Amino acid sequence: MPKPKPILPTIGSPADVRALRPAQVTALAEEIRTFLVDSVSRTGGHLGPNLGVVELTIALHRVFESPRDTLVFDTGHQSYVHKLLTGRGDFRRLRHRDGLSGYPSRSESEHDVVENSHASTALSWADGIAKANEVQGRDDRHVVAVIGDGALTGGMAWEALNNIAATEDRRLVVVVNDNGRSYAPTIGGLAYHLDTLRTTQGYESVLSWGKRTLNRSGPPGRIAYDALHGLKKGIKDVVAPQGMFEDLGLKYIGPVDGHDEPAVERALRRAQSFGAPVIVHVITEKGRGYTPAEQDVADRFHAVGRIHPETGLPVAPSRFGWTGVFADEIVRIGRRRPDVVAITAAMLQPVGLAPFAAEFPTRVFDVGIAEQHAATSAAGMAFGGLHPVVAVYATFLNRAFDQVLMDVALHRAGVTFVLDRAGLTGDDGASHNGMWDMAMLSIVPRLRLAAPRDEATLRSALREAVDVDDAPTVVRYPKGALGDEIPALEDVDGVDVLARHDGAGDAATSVLVVGVGAMAACALETGTLLAAHGLRVSVVDPRWVLPVPEALVKLVGEHDHVLTIEDGLVDGGIGAHIAQRAGEQGITTPVQCVGIPRTFLAHATREQLTGSLRLTPQDVARDVLAALDGR
């Protein structure tokens, strides 16, 4: 028999998907899984989530007509299959500069709507789009939001559901992609409720057996079927797992096997026919069809680097990184401080709290995708006599700013926020660069923020942070491997002096170079380059950058020119605050601030971003020399 021709290369748009015969749909699903494993193993990316939604995404595009019908993917890391079905089959540079984004992207396709990769937002987007359709009389289209069970732990999703349920005639379908996981097993009351729904899906198969008995055996089968139907209804009346949604006034369909494409299609067509808000509950398996992912309990395949597709093992083992140092040090702190507890928002493994949870299981709290709740709950714990350490990615603290300001800082709560992946993170794109935290947090009264430069300063910053019991403290560090240790020549009232260059005599222009956190290595090299031009240079690292240390302000007044280098926003950043504090004390030394401009950055490596932003030592040194020449 001749080998069937591949189907995936023939898919250029959703219309091609709708034209497939049922047998071709099954073959397409297998081809997509093979393609994903092969492609993502070469580039890195979100493998597990996409393997789990293959049949679901195919069914969505067979039932609905994107872009007339709007598809909104919550978080968006499960959109690879959607990209393939909408004509984007070149994954060779996935999550690399000039390649496909790892999330939906409006610049890529008219089929992409929401490119924010922060969770729990899709239902609000869908509610708004559906309202716009209603107001403008567009009653020929649907809005479909695909949201994971993990994202439903976020309060914003329930605010949206509360509004969605208030109408009876908006064409809005909410697909709950229930795999029991986000980055890790989904936790909380919602997870328990959905688990109840999963365990009761056998009702439909029992009823189906009764129907088959009826077809085969006449009246006895009818009796069996009626009895089973009554049993099913009676049990549902007792357990009523779907009541959570139906009590809101939302129609509910499911649970549906998310890997039975025809069944998913039938459920979606039924939802489509209602012409009103409806929940479709689809049960999927994260990592479906790829044995290493199916057998993995630590969810290592949620997002991967380059891996060997046969085994799932990394091509190049990761070097010991910043997160590993935090993981080790917080356990050490926990051993001597029984009042220290840890909080995370559905990211126990990624932020390094798994070892703490293993040693102190009653002292770690995973609140789900609920950063706001995490911050205010931490304030409550501090009031109760504990010292909470809230560990999240830097970009996600943005979501809890009001709580940091009004619940933690206003109440002088001793809470430590540990911000992983601060600064330029690169390949996840605009929504994941942790570049906002220092400028944002700089306006919070009494807040102290540390930006360690290496392993030793990270460990000491953590120890100092948990000793503060009357104000919020923040410790931020970048993504990836640790660099070399950068020792201090001396400590000047809390400010580390990293290097001194004498320059061309005492009359040489003196420059103070301030390296913030991970930019300390750049500051050191910049100082060397400036000294080669005869300048007298001091390179310092304040370690605790907020509030601006008085010793640093004093050093500003002792130099002719000051350069600050940071991997955060330059507008309102640390350099700007140093200049402001110096000005308040009558110091007129020019402060040249180098950092990230106020813009959204496309996905690229950290090295590519620092190059394009002129954050390399060579570029920074040239800019300082140009500024000095222009004086």
Picking from 173-187, 246-260, 414-428, 477-491, which range would have the lowest pLDDT averaged per residue?
173-187
Annotated binding site for thiamine diphosphate: 77, 117-119, 150-151, 179, 290, 371
- C-alpha distances (whole Å) from 605 to each of 76, 428, 517 are 20, 9, 19
User: Which band of pLDDT confidence, cut at 50, 70 and 90, is reported for residue 278?
Assistant: very high
Q: Which two tokens mark 381? A: 């714990």
List CB contacts of 295: < 8 A, sequence separation 6 or more. none
Q: What is the mean pLDDT of residues 288-308?
A: 72
Q: Which two tokens mark 75? A: 């978080």
Q: Which H or E element spans position 39?
A: helix 22-43
Partners of residue 475 on adjacent β-strands? 418, 450
- C-alpha distances (whole Å) from 101 to each of 78, 209, 481 are 12, 46, 23
Are 20 and 7 within 8 A, CB to CB?
yes
Are 265 and 256 within 8 A, CB to CB?
no
Q: From the CB of residue 488, how many other CB atoms can be counted at a distance below 10 Å? A: 17
- C-alpha distances (whole Å) from 590 to each of 75, 575, 601, 610 are 43, 11, 28, 24
The pLDDT tens digits for 527-569 are 999 999 999 999 999 999 999 999 999 999 999 999 999 999 9
- End-to-end, the C-alpha distance of the chain in Å comes to 80
Phi and psi torsions of 123, nearest 5°: -70, -35
- Asked if pLDDT for residue 602 goes beyond 90, the answer is no
The candidate with the shortest Cα–Cα distance to 471, out of 451, 452, 448, 450, is 448
User: Which band of pLDDT confidence, cut at 50, 70 and 90, is reported for residue 228?
Assistant: very low
* pLDDT of 143: 96
| pTM assigned to the model | 0.83
d(CA 264, CA 257): 7
- C-alpha distances (whole Å) from 366 to each of 248, 341, 399 are 27, 11, 17
Indicate the SS3 state at residue 189.
helix
* pLDDT of 239: 38
* Residues noted as catalytic: 286, 371, 399
User: Which band of pLDDT confidence, cut at 50, 70 and 90, is reported for residue 322?
Assistant: very high
Beta strands in 132-200 (DSSP E): 143-148, 172-178
What is the DSSP secondary structure assignment for residue 548, as one 8-state letter?
Answer: P
Q: Which two tokens mark 316? A: 């190049």
* pLDDT of 305: 75
Are 453 and 544 within 8 A, CB to CB?
no
Q: From the CB of residue 208, how many other CB atoms can be counted at a distance below 10 Å? A: 12
Annotated binding site for Mg(2+): 149, 179
- Asked if pLDDT for residue 621 goes beyond 50, the answer is yes
The pLDDT tens digits for 326-369 are 999 999 999 999 999 999 998 898 999 999 999 999 999 999 88
- C-alpha distances (whole Å) from 427 to each of 43, 93, 421, 437, 551 are 11, 11, 12, 19, 37
- Name the packing angle between helices 122-135 and 155-164 (round to 10°): 20
Annotated binding site: 77, 117-119, 149-151, 179, 290, 371
The pLDDT tens digits for 120-170 are 889 998 999 999 999 999 999 999 999 987 788 888 888 898 889 888 788
Q: Regarding beta strands 172-178 and 70-73, do their DSSP bridges make them parallel or antiparallel, or are they unpaired?
A: unpaired
